Chain A
């Protein structure tokens, strides 16, 4: 693939030494980015690829092509081949023509962000882009890439639209934006590479990665605080099981532990008037914030899978118990955004 490294505004490839030496370079670079490449950060709504936004250069094959033409021209001159001249000039004109065609293949496309499904941290977020072709020309082989390596392609027939799904790795929970995407095309001859940068305002919710270990759900508790005060008074003790890290200390069978046995956790069941609370406080401090959120995420998923009604308690946030998909989404969103300040992250550093 033709790389536009020299034109890419990314300075990340610079060695540390070079980056220290190149402060003026970077200033110039950012100036060029803003002036030439029109990089203005995130854009909301639909983006129309006007002429000013499209850049075009010969591709590597285009360079080969030019070389081949020069060879053919020398041959024609040397052997005085009139038809050689005709062919060479026809191909040269074809090359020039392909610049226009390639440019036209991208020009005036309208890009609108589409829906994006939340993902778990560590997975890939799939950003949908709707490519809308208002003109009367079919567009073919329009590629979208984020990193210049992997690309997805779409064809957009005249007066229709197509969707492409751009996979973006989502390493952290929170809000993810795709960052700057490159729309490019080499159609129809592959001799030119036309590209445009878009940075659509589309956000993907990244849930914390659920803990891999499938821990049992926390014990349902009586109506918080006052539950013990009424009714039969005692929870239905259903049995003991080995202690797993993370079990609430309140449910450890301390008597058995005192007898020198291994740590056991008491299990309770069958309580109609108890509620399942997935509580920040019920997770051990040692896990750290992300670890605790991971565990809570696992619990939310498991509880939802088991069809239970559950609530979520986070410092400062309480979601009352409820069953269903909406509760699942609400809880995971709360976990995703917990203490993140709502700041999106993604490739906006570039």
Chain B
């Protein structure tokens, strides 16, 4: 039934294309260039067809393009049904569908796909700007849908936008009710594509100093921490991450199987209490200050005090944590562990080994040796930079004897090698160091740029103790962060925060983003339970939540319906008609009801006959009414008079 009103107008195509471009534009940075080009070509083709009223392309041609695009996607991504490839495929199919559709009915399906594409964007980003942008996109899509419904009138874009905006606005209360009350479940229902949450971290479970000649200083946020009380000073903020034990002469790696037996240490002083909100990074690491007092829920602590989540961190998670900043590790490690912490590949870095032996001989004990090595870093011309020269063979030798420039990885690695060569068990701890205090929201921001590596050595009397060789070279790195440590000639655009107002603006923004993360994005099963408890629903099961949700949604809808249908009433009758109606009603109670066909004059006569005692008011009111309704020039004063008399008429 493709009638003329069902045909697509170029105007409809224009709106659809706008909606489509809006929802797909953020994907452009993530898809291969040729797919962007293909999508743009297809959209432009459709626009051209519609503007010049040409025939739609043949089905087989579209089929060929679809098959080609699918092949290309498979080559680019190595899969079809992953997250990225799936989204890309959806975009291409949408563009092809656009070239195939001819009626408004088809166009409606496209609208629904557009809505769906909005959600695919949230897989990549759920920040406030994304949310605002997507809100605009939803507005445009809805306006497009509204535009499809007109039949005779050609609506202006303003009417479409206003209509859609108004409807979305009216939908907000119900949306909020559903959002708060819809029962949340923990974790994925079924397996997700493997690439669902790829690449979001600055840490790794291996480290090859010298392989990268430039430290990537990403200001992406690793996690945020809010302390119960005053945050500890910057040089105590060591956020423990993966611990690297094994060295092959070039690369440090973490053990494949972590030692899970939990170990105890002797805490000195009260623990620091704080809450960590970790950004998703798709690994199992959780972060806590050295040393964590306990394992977070759904996580555990390894033998080397690393916190691991049971499942990869694919969502922003929040946990309460406590740490002892002062501690004493008094347990005896197993022999095989110490052996592992002493292993060096034979023949690698010979000059360093030689240096270590020499220095160890000169030092009276292990502790003095550690101090001597740190002193060497401090007094000789080692310097801190984020752009060190690359290191090739025997990187530690090269670093110690020729380049002498590097960042935490270089120093930690060199230090650990010098320790092991001198017979002192050593391991490298990676994680984050420091953090930026957000004074607006009073919490600490730890960024990927704060990633750090330090060492731990085992001394017979003290157990494992932390030694940060970078601090010896560049105390500023540890005290005030990487931005303070690097020379001014190196560019660090935003991290440095040279302008106070810019810094303040960034802090405010991050504080808002943090609230957004906590309140909106972090609205999980736990938060929902908490909220329900606060309103008096203990032990909210999904059944009780669903019940509450439906009742609330029903109430919200009823209120909305009442407000909307209220407007339906015909315009309020004018005061004269209303007053006369009141008069008739009062007479009706006296047994004289006016017939629908009865004129006011005839009614007056009948009423006076029935109630002669009321002849005066009945006559007067009727006469006023007749004059106001049918008279040539009614005076406003008559209206007032009529109202007064009807009011006085208590028949």
A218 nearest CB across to chain B (Å): 46
CA distance A92 to B556 in the complex (A): 13
Which of B36-44, B62-70, B177-185, B366-374 interfaces with chain A? B177-185
A140 engages B170 (CB within 8 Å): no
Which residues of the partner chain A approach B170 to less than 8 Å between Cβ atoms? Answer: 97
Query: With A and B bound together, what is the CA distance between A134 and B571 in angstroms?
Result: 7
Give the CA-CA distance A149 to B520 in the complex, in Å. Answer: 48
User: Is A25 among interface residues, defined by CB-CB distance under 8 A?
Assistant: no
| Shortest Cβ gap from A134 to chain B (Å) | 4
- Asked if A96 and B174 sit within 8 Å, CB to CB, the answer is yes
CB distance from A293 to the nearest CB of B (A): 36
Contacts of A108 in B (CB 8 A): 568-570
**Of the candidates A1, A77, A140, A187, which one forms a contact with B1 in the assembled complex, judged by CB atoms under 8 Å apart?**
A1
CB-CB nearest in chain B for A85: B179
Is B175 engaged at the interface, CB distance under 8 Å to the other chain?
yes
CB of B506 to closest CB in A, whole Å: 23
Is B537 positioned at the interface, with any CB of A under 8 Å from its CB?
Answer: no
Residues of A within 8 A of B112 (CB): 64-65, 68
CB-based nearest B residue for A73: B182
Q: Please name all residues of chain A whose beta carbon is closer than 8 Å to the beta carbon of B467 when the two chains form the complex.
A: none
Across the interface, do A104 and B564 meet the contact criterion of CB distance under 8 Å? yes
Q: Shortest beta-carbon distance, A88 to chain B, in Å?
A: 8
Number of interface residues of A (CB under 8 A): 55
Any A CB within 8 A of the CB of B187: yes
Partner of A72, one of B119, B123, B153, B178: B119
Q: Does B483 contact A (CB under 8 A)?
A: no
Encode contact with B along A74-96: 1 for CB under 8 Å, 0 otherwise. 11111111111111111111101
- Whole-angstrom CA separation of A80 from B313 in the bound complex: 12
- Whether the pair B123, A94 counts as a contact (CB closer than 8 A) is no
**Contact yes or no, B571 A159, CB < 8 A:** yes
Q: Chain A's nearest CB lies how many Å from the CB of B404?
A: 48
CA distance in complex: A36, B149 (Å): 28
- Enumerate chain A residues within 8 angstroms of B28, measured Cβ to Cβ: none
Residues of A within 8 A of B131 (CB): 83, 86
A71 adjacent to B116 (CB under 8 Å): yes
Say whether B189 faces chain A, with CB atoms less than 8 Å apart: yes
Asked if residues A190 and B119 are in contact (CB atoms below 8 Å), the reply is no
Alpha-carbon distance A100/B148, docked complex (angstroms): 18
B452-481 contacts to A, CB under 8 A, are: none
A81 interface neighbour in B115, B122, B567, B570, Cβ under 8 Å: B122
Q: List 5 A-B contacts (CB under 8 A).
A: A64-B112, A84-B122, A94-B167, A104-B564, A137-B568
Q: In the complex, are the beta carbons of B126 and A74 less than 8 A apart?
A: no
Tell me how far the C-beta of B317 lies from the nearest C-beta in chain A, rounded to whole angstroms: 10
Given known contacts A93-B175, A190-B149, A82 and B523 CB-to-CB distance under 8 angstroms: yes
Contact in complex: B119, A189 (CB < 8 Å): no
Contact between chains at B188 and A143 (CB < 8 Å): no
* A 100-130 to B, binary, CB cutoff 8 A, 1 in contact else 0: 1100100110000000000000000000000
B178 with A104: CB separation less than 8 A: no
Within the complex, the shortest CB–CB distance from A142 to chain B, in Å, comes to: 8
In the assembled complex, the CB of B574 is this many whole angstroms from the nearest CB of chain A, namely 13
CB distance from B477 to the nearest CB of A (A): 36
| Contact pick for A92, options B5, B167, B178, CB 8 Å | B178
B142 at interface by CB-CB < 8 Å:
yes
Q: Are A97 and B134 in contact (CB under 8 A)?
A: no
Whether A188 pairs with B175 at a CB distance below 8 angstroms is no
- A sample of 9 more A-B contacts (CB under 8 A), given A86-B520, A149-B1, is A68-B113, A74-B189, A83-B134, A89-B178, A92-B174, A92-B178, A97-B560, A140-B149, A150-B3
Which residue in B138, B314, B557 is a CB contact (below 8 Å) of A96? B557
Query: Is the Cβ of B108 less than 8 Å from the Cβ of A79?
Result: no
Q: Are B119 and A75 in contact (CB under 8 A)?
A: yes
Nearest CB in chain B to that of A133: its residue: B570
Contact status of A80 and B178, CB under 8 A, knowing A64-B109, A68-B112, A155-B153: no
Minimum CB–CB distance from A81 to chain B (whole Å) comes to 5
Report yes or no: A135 in contact with B567, Cβ–Cβ below 8 A.
Answer: yes
Which A residues are in CB contact (< 8 Å) with B138? Answer: 87, 90-91
Task: Report whether A80 and B315 are in contact in the complex, using a CB–CB cutoff of 8 Å.
Answer: yes
Which of these, A89, A141, A154, contacts B179 with CB under 8 Å? Answer: A89
> Chain B interface mostly helix, strand, loop or mixed?
helix
- From B115, B126, B130, B520, name the one whose CB has the most chain A CB atoms within 10 angstroms: B115
What 1/0 flags go to A297-317 for Cβ under 8 Å of B?
000000000000000000000
Name the distance in Å between A87's Cβ and chain B's nearest Cβ.
6
Question: Which B residue's beta carbon lies closest to that of A75?
Answer: B119
Which residues in A have their C-beta under 8 angstroms from that of B523?
Answer: 82
Question: Shortest 3 CB-CB distances between A and B: which pairs?
Answer: A93-B171, A153-B151, A93-B174
**A140 and B150 form a contact (CB under 8 A):** yes
* B146 nearest CB across to chain A (Å): 5
List, in ascending order, chain A residues with CB within 8 A of B192's CB: 78-79
Contact B149 A187 (CB under 8 A): yes
Tell me if A98 counts as interface (CB < 8 A to partner B).
Answer: yes
- A interface secondary structure, majority: helix
What CA separation (Å) do A94 and B155 show in the bound complex?
21
One of B118, B167, B188 near A98 (C-beta < 8 A): B167
A328 within 8 A of B: no
**Chain A residues, CB < 8 A from B334:** none
Chain B positions 120-163 with a Cβ under 8 Å from a chain A Cβ = 122-123, 126, 130-131, 134, 138, 142, 145-146, 148-153, 155, 163
Please indicate the chain B residues that have their CB under 8 angstroms from the CB of A61 in the complex: 105, 108
Contact A141 B571 (CB under 8 A): no
Which residues of B sit under 8 angstroms from A85, Cβ to Cβ? Answer: 179, 182
For the complex, is B648 an interface residue (Cβ under 8 Å from A)?
A: no
Q: Is B152 a contact of A136 with CB atoms below 8 Å?
A: no
Q: How far is the CA of A97 from the CA of B559 in the complex (A)?
A: 11
Which residue of A90, A135, A186, A190 contacts B568 across the interface (Cβ within 8 Å)? A135
Q: Mark A39-70, 1 if CB is under 8 A from B, else 0.
A: 00000000000000000000001001100100
Are A135 and B146 in contact, with the CB atoms below 8 A?
Answer: no
Residues of A within 8 A of B568 (CB): 104, 107-108, 135, 137
Query: Does B172 have its Cβ within 8 Å of any Cβ on chain A?
Result: yes
Contact B151 A93 (CB under 8 A): no
Shortest distance between the CB of A103 and any CB in chain B (Å): 8
Assess the A101–B167 pair: CB atoms within 8 A.
yes
Q: Which residues of A contact B257 (CB under 8 A)?
A: none
User: Does chain A have a CB within 8 A of B196?
Assistant: yes
Contacting pair A97 B151 (CB below 8 A): no
Cα-based distance from A155 to B149 in the complex (angstroms): 12
Chain A residues with Cβ below 8 Å from B557 are: 96, 100
Tell me, in angstroms, the Cα distance from A107 to B564 when the chains sit together. Answer: 12
Does the CB pair B152–A141 fall under 8 Å?
Answer: yes
Q: Write the nearest CB–CB distance from A131 to chain B, whole angstroms.
A: 12
Chain B stretch 78-137: residues in CB contact (< 8 A) with chain A: 105, 108-109, 112-113, 115-116, 118-119, 122-123, 126, 130-131, 134
Contacts known (A97-B170, A107-B565); A83 close to B152, Cβ less than 8 A: no
B168 interface residue per 8 A CB criterion: yes
**Does B602 interact with chain A (Cβ within 8 Å)?**
no
A176-197 interface (Cβ within 8 A of B): 186-190
Distance in Å from the Cβ of B553 to the closest Cβ of chain A? 8
Residues of A within 8 A of B188 (CB): 78-80
- Please name all residues of chain A whose beta carbon is closer than 8 Å to the beta carbon of B155 when the two chains form the complex: 140
C-alpha gap A249/B571 in the complex (Å): 70
Contact present for B571 and A135 (CB under 8 Å): yes
User: Contact at A140–B564, with CB atoms within 8 Å?
Assistant: no
> A100-B560, A134-B571, A155-B153 are known contacts. Are A87 and B171 too (CB-CB below 8 A)?
no
Interface bits A132-165 vs B (CB < 8 Å: 1, else 0): 0011110011010000011101110001000000
Q: With A80-B188, A107-B565 in contact, do A141 and B178 touch (Cβ < 8 Å)?
A: no
Q: Whole-angstrom distance between the alpha carbons of A107 and B189 in the complex?
A: 44
Contacts of A87 in B (CB 8 A): 115, 118-119, 122, 134, 138
Q: Is B561 interfacial (CB 8 A cutoff)?
A: yes
Q: Which residues from chain A contact B185 at a C-beta distance below 8 Å?
A: 77
* B189–A86 touching, CB < 8 Å: no
Q: Is there contact, CB below 8 Å, between A97 and B171?
A: yes
Would B561 and A100 count as touching, CB distance under 8 A? yes
